Amino acid sequence: MLTRLFVVLSFAFILTGCDTGVQQLAPSEVGVLFRKLPPIAGGGISQKVINRGQLVVVWPWDSIYRFDTRLKEIAWGQRVADSNASDFVQTRALDGNEVMLAVKVQYSIADNSQAIAKLVNEVAVDDEEIRKIVFAVGRADIRTYMNELRTASFFDNRQKFEAGEKVKQAMQERLKPYGIIIHNVNLGEHRFERILPDGTIDSSYQERINEVQTLEQQTQREKLRKATVEADKEREYNNMQAAVNRELAEAEGFKRQAQLEGDGYYAAKANEAKAILAAGQAEVEGMIKQIAAFAGAGGRSLLKLEIAKQLKAGDSKFLTFDQGSASATNSVGVKKVDLNQLAEQIGLFEGLKESSRKKSARKDDKEGAGDDNFAK
């Protein structure tokens, strides 16, 4: 009996096709087993997740819901040849301008058992259904949170990034219970265009913005060019100023050197002048004293003595004197005198005068002594 049952079951496996038998999940897949039996017989969705690459025995009444856990991406704003605007997410800025956004959302499926079971029970049973859910949630949240930005804010990368983070958080809160993880929400191109009732696109506002942006870019380039020229001129000025400063420093050095040399020369000459002045003053004072001595009582004797000294120093042998007469012919007579005799005579005269002075002094002393004795 058991053998017959086994044969029947084996034949049933063969007849049910590829979904029956031993199956293996791909390296990036997770799965959930669904048993098409009454709940009392163990039917329904299994709460246990089939892991990546796992082997599973699939009975004729079983099905496997497979989910790819690799990173996936949904992109809006990929224009096609006819420039269909439906590829963009259409929203409106806070100040009323309509805008179409190019956005990329990256997501993946977690291998959480409860979340995937909830996903299969309530939301989706394959990757395509999950994609549709992420697409719908993403489009709604993008329109909601990008609507908080004004027109000017779309040109501010920081504000756009913050708005994208809000979209990511909102999507994550809504999809996390189903095991769907939102990795990134990247805001790309934005165009201020609107779809008219006849299906055409009104891009006049965007064209005006493009013109303004072009002017701003040209202005920015002109500012950069001006800044470059100013920097070049500033560098040239600094180089010229440095050269002038070097020349001024060299001139100042030459000036200081000349001043030092002039001051030294002046000091030397001043000292030399002071020495000459002092010597002259000393010589004048000596001459004054000598004149005073010649003008005194012994001046004649000193004069004779000086003449004798000068004659002696000159080593002359004879001296001539002019002896003029009072005759009408005004004849000139010359008398030759031996200088040695003259010097001896002058010395003799000086000796006699000195001897006379000494005798006179001794006589005065004797007379003074006699007066003293007489007084006693």
- From CA 53, how far away is CA 31, in angstroms rounded? 10
Q: Which among 19, 106, 122, 135 has a CA at the least distance from the CA of 66? A: 19
pLDDT at 317: 61
Give the CA-trace dihedral at 243, 245, 246, 251, to 10 degrees. Answer: 130
17: left (phi over 0), alpha (psi -120 to 50) or beta: left
pLDDT at 198: 72
Residue 253 confidence (pLDDT) above 70: yes
Query: Is 134 within 8 Å of 184 (Cβ atoms)?
Result: no
Check residues 303 and 262 and name the one with the higher pLDDT. Answer: 262
Distance of CA 139 to the CA centre of its chain: 48
Residue at token pair 């004779």: 304
Residue 345 confidence (pLDDT) above 70: no
Residue 6 confidence (pLDDT) above 50: no
Distance of CA 108 to the CA centre of its chain: 48
pLDDT at 326: 47
pLDDT in tens, 112-150: 777 877 888 888 888 899 999 999 999 999 988 988 888
Q: Which backbone phi and psi does 324 adopt, to 5 degrees?
A: -85, 160
pLDDT at 12: 47
CA distances from 277 to 202, 265, 269, 272, 284 (A): 110, 18, 12, 9, 10
Mean pLDDT for 245-251 is 91
